[in-house]
Structures are given as structure tokens and as C-alpha cells.
Chain A
Amino acid sequence: MAGGSAAYTGVDFYDMDSLLSEEERAVRDTVRSWVDDHLMPVIGDCYIEGRFPKELIPGMAELGLFGANLPEEYGCAGLNNVAYGLIMQELERGDSGIRSFASVQGALVMYPVYAFGSEEQKKYWLPKMAAGEEIGCFGLTEPDFGSNPGGLITTARETADGWVLNGTKMWITNGSQATVSIIWAKTGDIDDAKSIRGFIVPTNLPGFTAKDQKGKLSLRASDTSELHLQDVHVPKDAILPLSGGLKSPLMCLTQARYGIAWGGVGAAMACFDEARSYAANRIMFDKPIAATQIQQERLAEMLTEITKGQLLVLQLGRLKDKGTMTPSQVSLAKRNNINMACECAREARRLLGGNGILIEYHSMRHMANLESVYTYEGTHDMHSLILGQEITGIAAY
């Protein structure tokens, strides 16, 4: 492997393992091995080529990575939320793009079907999605409505036998390869955010087109697309009956952000691991650069921040499993851990010197990826504002 580093064994300075159950550790180790064996050998090429490794989907489905915290009766693994978080951590240790794929499929597509769908919708869609036979995307963001999705202008108008959808969605992960999309649209007045409803829209319907976003310098091993819906007719039962208002898509985002907070830890751990091993092996001025105070401080800072981030998401996961986790607690973790991962990736890249800009090493790929993660699922700034509102009771956005 790059940098002559030994097998990846994670980062566990505070004996976090002792806080995990045997199953949670087994899940983590399984996904870690899968990432080692299947993702690491191809990720560099995929990133350079700007290609999502589709060929890995069946293997991911077979392991049970999609919607893993949803119940077994719908073909899912029925894991607790800590085990689910560990999956996201390990996937993002490989690449944020692959974690994004799993986040979208599980938290943004399967979750809304599970939370807002009818029993028939759940029985029909969830097993197929868990098996990777149906690939989903989540269409909320629009060209003019990013941080304020409540303003969206995609419409759904009721007809005699169903609905007609019109609008444009932007920055949609998995958009061009999805077989089905969850589209958020207004059924009422364009100013009425309460009329936002979710629709299950197969992507092969007439009037539905997806175009890949070209020229991305981040998250290159993930498809990001623009969706156009022009008079797309869907049947009556395409609507998610229990969805209602902006709150519904935001509930999905809370699920995804929860996993992303874990993912940040994974990406940071990958960078720390690479930096530590590189520092030990790179000889400059006749001694390893690890023997210099500046690089030691870099590593000490990274280890400190990673350890804090680990404790944060573990407790968040325990709260989620207890059913008391709040959206602003998730905002704090997403904001902290992704910012932390961005910092670690940048410092690791710098420690690696010239080699740090090469695809053979991982830190710069993570660094570039994490800029997307910093921006999507609520920008860092928006989470500051959510926390600000939580603290002061005053919305500043």
C-alpha cells in the first residue's frame, strides 16, 4: 500500500473498543475488511477517472450495508445506530463518495420510505433497495434553493389519476445512476413550505432526465447530477402519505447527518494513519520527520481531535438508540467532526510533502472530498446558525 504503511488498524487512543459491544465491533471489522479488500484497490483510479465504482454495489448489498439500521422484516440488517455509524465511519475511511452513496441509499431514500411510506410502499421498495436492485437518489436542493430548501419551487399538481411533477433539482448524489428518486415538491402555494411532500419517482418515466455535473474537483468517485422533471406523471400512490412540510426532508437529513458525523471520524483516521506511518518512514536531515517537533505537534493535534470526535459520535449514537437524540445535537456533531476531518486531512497532506499531492496517497483525496461534505447536508455555517438558534432562541438565517 501507499507509503509502505502496514495494514490499517484504526485509531483507538481511549480504548473506545471497550465501549462497543461484540456485535458492534464485528460489524466495524467486517466493513473495514471489505473496504481493505474491495474499495482501496480501486479508489485511486475511480477518483482520477471521476467514476463511481458501480461494480461494488452487489457486494455492499450482500454485506447488508444499505439501510442497515432499518428492520429485518424489510430485508435490512436491523442494526442499532452505533453499528450503523461504524459502517459509515469505515466506508468514509475509504472514500467520502462511497459513504455518500450508502448515506443516500439508506438515510435519504430508504429512510423516508420507511418513515413516511405506506405499508405497501415499504414492502415493495425496501427489500429491493436493501438488495441494491433499486438505486435511489434524494432530490431536495434546487439551483436557487440550497441552504434554504423551504423555498423550493418544484411543484406537484394533483390530476384525476395521480400527480404531475415539474421542476429542477441540483447537486443530486447518485442522480444519473438512480433507478428511483425521492422528489420533494410543493403540492400547494409556492410560498407554502407546509405543502412540501415527498414522491417516489422512478427515473425512467417520460419527462425525467438526469445530467451529470461535470468538472468536480471533489467527491469525484461519486455521481452528482442535475435532475429535470418536465410534466412527469406519477400514479396516486407515488406520494409518501405520511410526509408533510419541510420537516419531513429535514428528518431525512438528520438521519444522514448522523452517519456523516461518524464518517468524518473515519476520514480523519485514514489521514492520521497515513501521516503517522509516513512520518516514521520519511528520512530527512538524517532522521525520520517523526522525530521533529513540528510533525509531532501535527500528529498530537490530529490524535486529540479524532479522539474527541470519536467520543462525540459514540454518545450521540447511544442517545439515538435511546430515542432522545435531537437534531441540534446532530448539527453539533456534523459541524465539529467534518471540520475536524477537513483539518486533519489538510495537515496530513502537508506532512506528506510532495508525495502528499499524489493519488497514491489518500490524504489529499480526503481533503478535497471533505470540502463537499463540509458543504452538503447543511453547510458548516448553517449548522453554526442552527446551534446559535438553539442557544439564543433567535434564528439568524
Chain B
Amino acid sequence: MTYFRKRIDMKIAICLRRVPDTTAKIVIGPSGVAIDEAGVKFVPNPYDEYALEAGLALVGAAGAGETVVVGFAGDSVQETLRTALAMGVDRAVHLQGTPTADGLANARVLADHLRDGGYDLILFGKLAVDDYGQQTGVMVAELLGLPCATAISSLSVDGGVATVTREVEGGVENATCALPAVLTCDKGLNTPRLPSLKGIMAAKKKPLDIVPVTVGESRVTVVSLAMPPERAAGRMLGEGAAAVPALITALTTEAKVL
């Protein structure tokens, strides 16, 4: 039996954050509540890259639709948005403003913009690797009254229903939810593509709309930032098999793990 799969026009928004490269050396700035950005390389939040790849793959497979990348941040996010355009996203929206430490205030800004966008899916990373807030995706879902699955590690969409897998303690959870929906993406979902060189050139010609926004009052204040304590240097106990007795002694008497 042959059957024709209906061409589905998926409209997908991906919300994107710009974060310091995880290999960058972080220094706390003079204010004591923010990092010093000088000389730090910024990249798309790695979890957001899974979201980008998922969006691009779904629209690619459907053969029709639109992907839109949305970033709420200062002007520097435009470079990150163009990276998404270079990967293949159709257009970008820069919600121009300054996010606060209050996740809900930030989520409201995004939700207000996304509300009337007609999106079938709104994708987020499960967290941003700089502040580990883990709030934005779920709060946006709540504000929009949409179902939400968090930290998904697999995704398929068929007939207006998303089927997802979530890694839970000791196993996996399979779940479905009707579209439109909000999903936050985890590692393992896919392998994000690199922007192609033609994509980088094409990105310059794709629309990047700048929408000034105002963010509500922050009810959370960052009081101070501190670096983690320095790890003590390792100690060489010896080499090869000869080192084993000393290692066992150290693991039993010092580390007390044996």
C-alpha cells in the first residue's frame, strides 16, 4: 500500500543564548557580580545548538516550513544569531535589551514575543552553561499555556504530536505531547551541524530583525561571584605496576574510597 505523507509546514522558533566558550579562562569583572568579557570568546550555548539542529532537521525533513532564531540580549548576540543563520536558520529576531538575574522577568520578554508567532514548536536548550538557570524554557511554556517536555534526548514529530525521550534516573522516559509545545533539549538529541562556508556568506543576506524590548523589574539580585577553589596539584606516586601498592595505600588511607 502506498500512502502519501502530507507535507507539513512546520514553523519552529529556537531561543538562543550566547555564552563564554567553555574552554575560556573566566575572570570576574571589577563589579564583582559579572565576568570580565574582555578577550573571552563567546559561542552559542551548546544545549541551544541541539535545539537549532533539531529545528533545522525537522523542517528539512518536512520539506517545508520556517525556522526562526530568537535571542534576548545585548547587541553582541547578533553575531551568535548570525551563526545560527549560517547553520541554515531562515531568519533571526534580536530582542534588544538586558536580561536580568530574574528568570521569570526574562521569560516574560520571550513569551510576549513568541505568543502570536504561530509556532508549532518552541525549542530551548535545557540550560545555559554560563548561569545554569534552567528556568527559561519551562517558564515560557507556562506563560504561553503550552505543554512542555524538558531535557529531551530524542524527538520525532508526526501528525501534530511530538514523541520525545527523556533520560531519567536509571532509565528513559518516553512521552508524547500535542503541538504546539515547548521542548528543552539535552545532549544526545543530535549532532549539531557546522555552518558551511556558503552558509556563512548567505547569513549576511538573511533577515535579522531588531526589536527593542523592556524587561520587568528583577526580583533576584546577584550579590557576588566567586571562582571555585583551586584544585591542588596532582601527585605522582610512581609509574606502571610499581606504583600500584602506593596507589592502593593512598586510596585506602587518604581518599578513603576503598
**A and B: interacting chains:** yes
Q: Mark A73-106, 1 if CB is under 8 A from B, else 0.
A: 0000111000100010000000000000000000
Chain B residues whose CB sits within 8 angstroms of the CB of A182 once the complex forms: none
Cβ-based interface call for B37 (8 A): no
Contact of A30 among B41, B79, B82, B200 (CB under 8 A): B200
Give the docked Cα–Cα distance between A72 and B41 (Å): 30
Residues 63-80 of B at the A interface (beta carbon under 8 Å): 79
B198 x A77 contact (CB < 8 A): yes
- A9-B41, A23-B204, A283-B236 as given contacts; A79 in contact with B197, CB under 8 Å: yes
Cβ-based interface call for B100 (8 A): no
Give the docked Cα–Cα distance between A72 and B204 (Å): 14
Residues 181-235 of A at the B interface (beta carbon under 8 Å): none
Chain B residues whose CB sits within 8 angstroms of the CB of A30 once the complex forms: 194-197, 200
Look across to chain A and name the residue whose beta carbon is closest to the beta carbon of B195: A30
Cβ-based interface call for B33 (8 A): no
Pick the most buried of A6, A64, A65, A87: most chain B CB atoms within 10 A of its CB.
A64
B194 x A64 contact (CB < 8 A): no
Look across to chain B and name the residue whose beta carbon is closest to the beta carbon of A10: B41
Q: Mark B36-77, 1 if CB is under 8 A from A, else 0.
A: 000001000000000000000000000000000000000000
Cβ-based interface call for B86 (8 A): yes
Cβ-based interface call for B201 (8 A): yes
B197 x A72 contact (CB < 8 A): no
Residues 208-236 of B at the A interface (beta carbon under 8 Å): 236
Chain A residues whose CB sits within 8 angstroms of the CB of B197 once the complex forms: 27, 30, 63-65, 68, 77, 79, 83, 87
Cβ-based interface call for A296 (8 A): no
Chain B residues whose CB sits within 8 angstroms of the CB of A7 once the complex forms: 23
Chain B residues whose CB sits within 8 angstroms of the CB of A78 once the complex forms: 198, 201
Q: Mark A1-32, 1 if CB is under 8 A from B, else 0.
A: 00000110100000000000011001100100
Look across to chain A and name the residue whose beta carbon is closest to the beta carbon of B194: A30
Cβ-based interface call for B134 (8 A): no
List 6 additional A-B contacts (Cβ < 8 Å) besides A64-B197, A78-B201: A6-B23, A26-B82, A27-B197, A64-B198, A68-B197, A77-B200
Q: Residues of B at under 8 Å CB distance from A?
A: 21, 23, 41, 79, 82-83, 86, 194-198, 200-201, 204, 236
